[in-house]
Each structure stands twice: as structure tokens, then as C-alpha cells.
Amino acid sequence: MAPFYAVVAGVGAGTGRSVALKFAKTYPVALLARKPESYESIVAEIQEAGGQAVGISTDLTDPQSVEAAFAVIQKTEGFVGAGLAAAVYNVSGGFGGRKPFLETSLEDLDGSLSANPRGLYIFAKSTLPLLLKAVPTSPNPPTLIVTGATASTRGSARFAPFAAGKFAKRGLVQSLAREFHPQGVHVAHAIIDAVIDIPRTRHYNVNDGAPDGKLSPDAIADEYWHLHQQHRSGFTQEIDLRPYVEKF
Amino acid sequence: MAPFYAVVAGVGAGTGRSVALKFAKTYPVALLARKPESYESIVAEIQEAGGQAVGISTDLTDPQSVEAAFAVIQKTEGFVGAGLAAAVYNVSGGFGGRKPFLETSLEDLDGSLSANPRGLYIFAKSTLPLLLKAVPTSPNPPTLIVTGATASTRGSARFAPFAAGKFAKRGLVQSLAREFHPQGVHVAHAIIDAVIDIPRTRHYNVNDGAPDGKLSPDAIADEYWHLHQQHRSGFTQEIDLRPYVEKF
Amino acid sequence: MAPFYAVVAGVGAGTGRSVALKFAKTYPVALLARKPESYESIVAEIQEAGGQAVGISTDLTDPQSVEAAFAVIQKTEGFVGAGLAAAVYNVSGGFGGRKPFLETSLEDLDGSLSANPRGLYIFAKSTLPLLLKAVPTSPNPPTLIVTGATASTRGSARFAPFAAGKFAKRGLVQSLAREFHPQGVHVAHAIIDAVIDIPRTRHYNVNDGAPDGKLSPDAIADEYWHLHQQHRSGFTQEIDLRPYVEKF
Amino acid sequence: MAPFYAVVAGVGAGTGRSVALKFAKTYPVALLARKPESYESIVAEIQEAGGQAVGISTDLTDPQSVEAAFAVIQKTEGFVGAGLAAAVYNVSGGFGGRKPFLETSLEDLDGSLSANPRGLYIFAKSTLPLLLKAVPTSPNPPTLIVTGATASTRGSARFAPFAAGKFAKRGLVQSLAREFHPQGVHVAHAIIDAVIDIPRTRHYNVNDGAPDGKLSPDAIADEYWHLHQQHRSGFTQEIDLRPYVEKF
């Protein structure tokens, strides 16, 4: 019997994978991503380690798709009847990359808004009722954690669509924290101010190639778990996270 | 001969009207709003005072509509051949009002995103090329001014869709400022932290009914004009504005 | 008969001089600085332009010295019986310059604390009662304006004593604004995020030598005057100011 | 053999005690406070639990006294030859309490500056060389943690001296973080946005008497320990911490 589970939206080779593995040490974990190849190997990894996991192909920008995913979760062995203890929104959408504003397109902006405030909004609408329901029984305060970026608090040149999306997401999280903290749900935002150390970035020359100069996704996962462990007497609403050698 | 003009997107009974009247003392002014009743009386007011103005029915969330508006402007008597000296984005869309997050709808969020980052994006794409073109000849640095709100920096409880839109707009403005300031275009954001004193709010009991306890839209217009007057040696990127009795 | 006057604490070749000249177009101005050579030529400049000014040698870190200065002002021809309309705190003390923290001394920190929060505190204790008294009659809301710096919101490496002083001053100004705005006194903080264009910096290569790449002290003075002109319906509490080419 | 130790400056019935107890589970802990009654019972508590601790009467606003304290530590059994793994600055000085600015005295400001930026400066000058020295061998990155407050980022009305001190301390910490992170020392600031649950506040009616409506000092200690545990791949520079029911 597993009375509580966690859900991670937006998994792949980096943060999402590490977070899923970390939370899977305690909870069955549902992994949501657009394509099976994003979650299949992680589900296998969790199961091999003796944990429970299910991956569900989900369009996180589509309310019906997200609703359908939760319907599937609630019928999955190991999740049936379980409460939602933790929900992590880790989606990062395409925004067209760094380029001069006049070379960006409305599609770049829409991509950023879709993956950031819009996707989070949809995810929050599905998860907050479940998290609220778990308040009286969950061992740790039920938690909604959202991954942000440097651009969450700083609109850099040539990053206009990206900054719009990340700022929006942060505003949304703050508002949810102020509304749901008093109801017992912990809502936190993490400003990931770094290049994350994943296969795709392995060859990037970051911080002059200093050892540990990229942010380990396992370190992010440790933080998310720690946020989830916080007692309601002391909630952290926002953390920043960066390698020791990162300029900020 | 009128070598320069201004454009104000989002006019009605409040800030937009006051800004249009203020800038019309120096420039011909184009007023963009969805419905003629939003701009007709202001256009008349400007013309009666001896200024030049044109109102254009525009859907500011639709790139084609905005493009068409600028095509009309450039063929309007008094604007033909003129450079764009100042563009003000003052659109505030519906977001469903203050209510518990779980009672909001995706339409509320979309309304907020549409009027705030999306509308500004579209407006900026149309105006920045014109503002850049005016840099060498404009008496004051060409200026893009964007109206923000308390929710631009603070996500309050029960204001999630609103905060998402306002935060996003601020991030976008910051990014544009960092990119376009060095090119000579002044990009500024105004945090309007107040109830504005307009006919619709006249009966609101704000700040215990203190005299001048609401923000005069003329005071906002004075600020926008002042921002436009700043020499490139000293640009202000962001101001806050609130009545003396406002809690903050 | 001069019913109102202004006082500028901290004058020299830059901001203080420009601010004094600007305010002297409307008010008699009292200039406070440690040494006569800091104010004598400015006083002469104001008088030659037909204005009224008095310079007083003052140790702005010493309450008695500041109190004595105001006693002198109130007996000076042109200031007798006049109300205080505007007070500008523009003192910048030594902090030992940029250097590794472990090479700084407690004297560096004390220099920064003395000139920034401590000096402002002393100045505010002397001026706020006078500004409050002027509220009912002053044509513009009586104003206390404080000069800040980049370090007011960002503690950069090797600038520890400087950041401590500038942060402290900003916190103090914010607190005073929240207390005195409702009483009708406007309290504002200006983040000067630039090298100022004064004789001493003329040879500095700033912003790749771009024209207007340093901040003109006259532009700062224009801003301070503008802040003083704001109607109580719309007070700005904080502005930033930097050249168009400044990285931020 | 104890190769590493921790030092906590500013102990009493609340945060300092909890932090000392927490770190004492791993390290010998030196406790610095003005009076023996502030640390004696904590030292006893640690020793009874099988840990090592020493209390030293120290005037934390006096460089000589702090230097002398470290000389004592280094000769104390259990600390001899040990490296400094963690230093916590938790001093909160008197600032005269909440009152109208014009009723505060320069002594209130000086009390706040003395305990906050000045005391931290002195403590950092003594500890950073030791923390740097421990970088190559310490199991966790050597850490300097500083306790802040709501007033670290918000200058509230009638809290001018308090805000000046707290802002200053935050600026100092930020500057130290930017300088010492790349050298391997973790420097973090905690914004304690709450009434802390200690004997003195037990009768306070906070947050409508909600259970866990005050911040448990043990929760703070857990956070500080967690910050100390962070890998250098992901340092958090600042956290906020408040009860779930706290308005913010």
C-alpha cells in the first residue's frame, strides 16, 4: 500500500530525471512528458531500483491531456487511492533561443508562454485540489515546486520571449504561494541560475571549465526534496541555486 | 509639417486619455483601441485644443490588425512621412477579477497573457523598427513606455492570472531595455501602484477617502512625458507611482 | 521675501553642484559640505546667476554640526522665516575603494556607514520636522531626496563596505517613505547606476568612450527637480538612472 | 580527533541555541555571546548529549574581543588543530523597537548598525581566513551563514534603524558571496520572515493563534544545516523562511 505519490511534469535527461529518481525513493512517481522516449528509461531505472513509476505521454499545454493523465495515474497499480504529496513542474519549452528581438517571432513568445505560465496554470489546476486533499494526512506538507531560471528575475538582452515566460511563471507561483500556504500546501519556486550538467551540455565550456562548474541535476533534486521536507512552521518560498564559480 | 508623432495603444477614460492629451501638445497622436467609443471623444478633445489626432479601431492582440493600424497612420494627414518619437503601451485586458485560483479559468489567464506580454510583443514588433529609425533625428530619444501595475512585482493571493500577465510584461520590457537602450531607444516601465482616479472609480472608497488618495491619470501622463524628455545620458528604466497615502 | 528654501548636503564638482544650481532657480539654497572649497564656487555661481545661496562648513556625520548648520541657515538673510521645501542628501563617503574583503579595514566599513546611513539619519532628523512643517503651505510637497548607487541593490565582489553602506541607506529611505508619505512629505531614492561625468572622471574610459556614455550631473539634477515637482497624487519612491549604453 | 568545528555567534533561547545543537551533532561547536547565561545551558545540553562545546563571553562588536575568542577556541580541547567548517552569524542587537522616526535616537541606529553590518564585518574578518583554509579538506564546503529578517528587504514604517541595519547586513553578505563562492566558501543569507517560537514569544498572539503559526527555531537550524550540506555544484545564496500562515 502506497498512500502517497508524486508527479513530475517535464522529464528528460536533466532535472526531471534526477527529481523523479529522488522522490521515487519514498513515493511512487508519475512522469509526464510529451514523448515516451523522455520517460521510458527513467521509469525503468526507478523500477530496477525497487521503486514504482509510471510514465504518461502528456501534452502539458493542453488541459484535456493533463486531465487524462491524472485519470490514468489514479487507475495505475500502486497509485490507486493514493494522495498526491508532491507535484513538480519542470517544463521548459522552446522560445527560439537567444536572438535579437526583431528576429524573434510571435511563435517564440507563444512557445515560452505556453510552456511556462500556461502549462503551469493547467498543471496547478489539476494538482492543487489533490494537494489540498492530502493536507490532513500527508507526512510532509503537500508541495508544488516549480523550476525557474536566471530569466525569472532578470530580462536579459536578446532573451525577450524567454524572460516573458519565466517572469510570468514566477508571478503565478508567488500568487499561488500566498493563496495556498495558509491552506497547508507548500508552493515553492527555484531559480536555477546555471547551465545544468547533462549529456547535452557536457561539451559546453562553462565557467572556464572549472570542476563542478555546471549545476548537477542531482543537487537540484536534493533541494526539491528538501523543500518538500520542510515543516509548515517554516516554508521557503523561493531559492536560488548556482555553482560556486557562477557569476551573478 | 509634423516631423514626429506619438502612438498610444489602449485608450479609454483613464491613463490612455491623459497620456494622449499630454503628448498631443507636442506631437500628432495616433490612438489605438478596440472600439471607436474608446477614442472618439479624445480625438475630438485634442482637435478642439488645436492638436492633431487620429483614432484607429485596432485589435491589439492581433498582429495583422496592429500592422494595418500603422499602415493607416502612415497615410493619415499630419502623420505622412513623420517619424515615431514615442509609443505607449497602456493596454489592460480582462483577467476575470480577483477570485480564488480554483475558480479562475484558462480564459482568465489567456486574457491576461493576451493583453499583457502578447499585446506588448506585437506592439513592440511594430514600433521598435520605427523608433530605431527616428533615433538620429528625434529631438528626444525615441521612447517606448509600458504601463505596469502593483502585480508587476508582487503576486498577490487570488490574483494569479493577473500577476502572470503583469510579471511577463515587466520581464519583456526589461529585456527590450537592455537590448534597445544602447541603440538609442529609451524603453521604460511604470509600476502604477494605485487605484486610478477615473469616472468608474469615483465612488470607490480608497485610502479612507483621503483627498488625492487615488492616482490622477494626468500625473501618470506627466511622468510618461518626463520619461520621454530624458536625455540619453540618463535613462530611467523603471518608476513606481502611487498616492502619498497608499500603503506599500 | 523668500518663503521656501532648499538644502543640499554633500556638494562638490558633480551631482551636488548641479542639484544646487537647479533648485536655486526657484529657491534660495543652503549648501553643506565639510570644506569651504567644496561650496564656495557654487555659491558664487548661483549668486552671479541672480539666485540666493549660502554655504556652511558642516561635518555631516556629527549631529551637533548639522544642528548648528540649520541654526545658521535660519538666521541667514533670504532664509529667515522661510520653510524647507526640499532637502537633498548627496553625501558619499570614503570606503577604501574596491579591494579584496580581507584587505579592507573596519575603518573602510565605518567610513561607508558613517557617510551613508548615519549621515542620512542625522540629516533626516534635522530636516523632516522642517519638511513636515512646510506641508500645508509648500507649493510642491516638501521633498527629501537621497542619492544611491548601483551598490544600493547589488552587493558586488570586493565592494563589501560600500554595499553595506548603500544598502543601509536604501532601507532607511524606504522606511522613511512609508512613514512620511502619508504625512505629506515625499521621500525618494535615486539609484545612480553610472560613472558621473565630472572633471575627475573626464579621462575615464567608460562604455567604450561612447558619446554621453557617462551620466551628466545636470541630468540627475533634472530628475531630482522633477521628483520634487510630483503632485501628492503620484509619488515616485525610487528611480534608477543610467546612460543609454550602460550595461545593467 | 575532531578535524572540524563550527562557531555560532549570537546564542540565546532561540535560533542560536537550535543551530548550535544541530551542528553539534557533527562538529564541536563554539558559542559566542556577551554573557555566560546566554550560552552556559546550551553548552551543558550539548555535552549531555555527548557532543563537544565551548562557550566564550565575547563582545561581538569589538574586533579584539572576537580575535581573543578565536584564540581561546584554538586552544580548547577538542578544537585544537581543527578546521572551521561552519560559521553562523546570528546576532541581533537592540534598535530601540518600533517607534516613530522622530522619536528614535542615534543610539538606536548605532545599535542596529553595530550588531548587524559591523558585527558581521568583524566576524567575517575572523572567520573567512579560517573557512578558506578549510576548503581543500572540509567534507562540505565551508560555510558562512547569516541570519536576516523581514526588514532585510523591506523598510517598513517606524522601523528605520532596524531596516538600515538589516539591509546593510544583506548587502555585505551578497558582496561576500560574490567574492568567496569562487574560492569555495559558501556564503548564505536567511530571511527570517516570522516571529520565532521561543519562550519570550510564547504568549504573543501571532497569525490568529494558528498552530505552528510561529517559526520553530529548530526549523531554522535544519535549514542552516541543509545550506551547509549543499555541494559546491549548487549553492543557494539566499532563502526566505516563514510559517505557512504568515502574510507576506
Question: Between chain C and chain D, how many beta carbons pairs sit less than 8 Å apart?
Answer: 137
b vs e for A150-182, b when ≥16 Cβ sit within 10 Å of the residue's Cβ? bbbbbbbbbbbbbbbbbbbbbbbbbbbbbbbbb
Is B154 in CB contact (< 8 Å) with chain A?
A: yes
CB D42 within 8 A of CB D31: yes
The residue of chain C nearest to residue D182, with distances taken between CA atoms, is C157
Tell me, yes or no, if B228 comes closer than 8 A to chain C by beta carbon.
Answer: no
Low-confidence residues in chain A, pLDDT < 70: 1-2
Q: Give the closest-approach CA distance of A173 to chain B in angstroms.
A: 8
Nearest CA-CA distance, residue C130 and chain B, Å: 18
Residue B93: per-residue pLDDT:
80
- Is the Cβ pair D181, A246 closer than 8 Å? yes
Q: Nearest CB to D167: which of C125, C157, C167?
A: C167
- Residues in chain C, pLDDT under 50: 1
As given in the structure block, the three cell numbers for residue A180 are 495556498
| Chains with ≥3 CB–CB distances under 8 Å to B | A, C
Q: What is the pLDDT of residues B162-210, one digit of tens each?
A: 999 999 999 999 999 999 999 999 999 999 999 999 999 999 999 999 9
Nearest chain A Cα distance for residue D100, angstroms: 29
Domains of chain B with CATH codes: 4-241 (3.40.50.720)
Q: What is residue A94's predicted lDDT score, i.e. its pLDDT? A: 82
Whether B109 has its CB under 8 Å from any CB of chain A: the answer is yes
Chain C residue with Cα closest to B221 = C234
Alpha-carbon gap: C113 to the closest alpha carbon of chain D (Å): 8
Tell me the longest C-alpha to C-alpha distance in chain B. Answer: 56
Beta bridge partners of D239: A239, D190
What string of DSSP letters covers B66-111?
Answer: HHHHHHHHHHSTTTTT-EEEEEEE--------S--GGG--HHHHHH
- What is the 8-class DSSP label of residue A97? -
pLDDT band at B94 (very low <50, low <70, confident <90, very high): confident
How does pLDDT run across C168-187, given as a tens digit for each residue? Answer: 999 999 999 999 999 999 99
C-alpha cell at B40: 472618439
A178 has a chain D CB within 8 A of its CB: yes
CB contact C125 to D (< 8 Å): yes
Task: Tell me if chain C has a CB within 8 Å of the CB of D171.
Answer: yes
ipTM of this complex? 0.97
Per-window interface: A 63-102 vs B, CB < 8 A: 63, 100-102
pLDDT score of D20:
98
A52 neighbors A3 (Cβ within 8 angstroms):
no
Q: Which residues of A touch D142 (CB under 8 A)?
A: none
Answer whether D163 sits within 8 Å of C151, measured CB to CB: no
Q: State the best of A192, A236, A242, A247 to mutate against chain D, taking most chain D CBs within 10 Å.
A: A236
D160 in C contact zone (CB under 8 Å): yes
CB-CB under 8 Å, D246 with A141: no
Nearest to A14 by CA among A149, A185, A151: A149
Q: Does D239 touch chain A (CB under 8 A)?
A: yes
**pLDDT by position in tens, chain D (length 248):** 459 999 999 998 899 999 999 999 999 999 999 999 999 999 999 999 999 999 999 999 999 999 999 999 999 999 999 999 999 999 988 889 999 999 999 999 999 999 999 999 999 999 999 999 999 999 999 999 999 999 999 999 999 999 999 999 999 999 999 999 999 999 999 999 999 999 999 999 999 999 999 999 999 999 999 999 999 999 999 999 999 999 99
User: Any CB–CB contact under 8 A between B234 and chain C?
Assistant: yes
Given a cut of 70, is residue B132 above it in pLDDT? yes
- Angle subtended at Cα D243 by Cα D238 and Cα D244, rounded to the nearest 5 degrees: 110
Q: Which of A102, A121, A155 sits opposite B174 (nearest CB)?
A: A155
Residue to test with chain A: of B64, B95, B109, most A Cβ within 10 A: B109
Q: Is A168 on the interface with B (CB under 8 A)?
A: yes
pLDDT value, residue C94: 82
C148 Cα to chain B: minimum distance (Å): 14
- List of chain A residues whose C-beta atoms are within 8 Å of the C-beta of residue B100: 179
Cα-only R_g, chain B: 17
Q: Note whether B194 contacts C219, CB cutoff 8 Å.
A: no
CB-nearest to C168 from D164, D175, D178 is D164
**What average pLDDT does this structure show over B89-111?**
94
DSSP per position, A99-161: --GGG--HHHHHHHHIIIIIHHHHHHHHHHHHHHHHTTT-SS--EEEEEEEGGGT---TT-HH
Residues of chain B contacting C216 with CB distance shorter than 8 Å:
231, 233-234
8 Å CB contact between A118 and A59 = no
Enter the DSSP assignment of C117: I
